Amino acid sequence: MAAYREPAIKTSFPAFKKIVNSRRSVRKFTDEKIPQNVIDDCLDMALAAPNSSNLQPWEFYVIQDETLLKKFVPVCLGQQAARAPVLVAIVERQANWRDVAKRILREWPGGQPPKIAKDYYSKLAQVMYTQGPMDVLGRAKKVGLTAAGMMKPMIRGPVSSADMDVWAAKSCALAAGHLMLAFRAAGYDSCPMEGFDAVRARKLLKLPGDATINMIVSAGVRAEDGVFSPRYRVPREEVIRYL
């Protein structure tokens, strides 16, 4: 089988800088709706985000119904940013990794997956991500990995259900970043919200027991006073280290 090749396309860094630098956490939106095709395109950009082992531990709940949107305002603690024409709840589904691993092998693009992919998803991933009841397998892995790590560089996790939560959260956060930049590129704005009543939000979305809301992203047309202050960042020389 010939090695897969995908050449990089030409891009515009100035255009990307414009998108990134103009993305702000917008707190007030107009009542103007976002066209459905734009929402769909932006969600597709979120789905294209990098994620751990391509196991895609996420789901996106797109809230557009006006009655449900109104219910989410108090759930989001009355934040002005929650009064938007669309909310997207980014939900962690870390327990779905087994099903996704099987689908990747079954639906491999172009046909038969290479041996390295078969071995990873059917063997190594099963060991890495299985923690067992009460994390009993995870604890055993931790002992083994700690011992092996004394001899050579070694991956040290995930070795618990808490580690799996962090694992899924990383991928969901990457997807959220893609989603917000996509909205900005399409001419709309957004705001990521972590301040919400997770119990009430879960009930409104009717989430299964193993699902966790990573964040809720509001989106719409920026109001004239939608940005509350200029952007502030800690000086780059204090947080960037060149080694």
How far, in Å, CA of 87 to CA of 183, rounded? 12
Strands (E), 32-145: 58-63, 86-92
Query: What pLDDT is recorded for position 31?
Result: 96
For 88, list phi and psi in degrees, rounded to 5. Answer: -120, 115
Residue 1, pLDDT score: 63
Report yes or no on 125 lying in a domain: no
Spatial distance between the Cα atoms of 33 and 233, rounded to a whole number of angstroms: 31
Q: Is residue 234 part of a domain?
A: no
Domain membership flag for residue 179? yes
Q: Which of 26, 24, 22 is nearest to 80 (CA)?
A: 26
* Model confidence at 2: pLDDT above 90: no
150, part of any domain: no
Report in angstroms the alpha-carbon separations of 104 from 47, 51, 218: 15, 14, 31
What CATH number does residue 208 fall under?
A: 3.40.109.10
Amino acid at 240: I
Taking only the tens place, the pLDDT of each residue in 27-38 is 999 999 999 999
If one counts every other C-beta atom within 10 angstroms of the C-beta of residue 112, the result is: 10
Say how far apart CA 221 and CA 202 lie, in whole Å: 27
Residue 241 covered by a domain? no
Answer yes or no: is 235 within a domain: no
Give the percent of the chain with pLDDT over 90: 96
Report the pLDDT averaged over residues 63-82: 98
**Looking at the predicted structure, is the pLDDT value of residue 175 above 90?**
yes
Cβ atoms within 10 Å, residue 173: 17
The whole domain housing 180 covers 23-95+155-228
Q: Name the strands in the sheet holding 212-220, side by side, starting at the edge strand that comes first in the sequence.
A: 58-63, 86-92, 212-220, 189-193
Q: Does the residue 104 lie in any domain?
A: no
| φ/ψ of residue 91, rounded to 5 | -115, 130
pLDDT at 87 over 70: yes
Determine the Cα–Cα distance for residues 166 and 241; give it in Å rounded to an integer.
25
Encode pLDDT of 189-229 as tens digits: 999 999 999 999 999 999 999 999 999 999 999 999 999 99
Query: Is the pLDDT score of 154 beyond 90?
Result: no
Residues 6+ apart with CB under 8 A from 25: 81, 190, 191, 192, 227
User: Cis bond leading into 158, ω under 30°?
Assistant: yes
116-149 as b/e, with b when 16 or more CB fall inside 10 Å?
eeeebbeeebeebbebeeebeebeebbeeeeeee
The answer to the question of residue 180 being in a domain is yes
Q: Report the mean per-residue pLDDT for the chain.
A: 96
How many separate domains does the chain show? 1
Tens digits of residue pLDDT in 95-112: 999 999 999 999 999 889
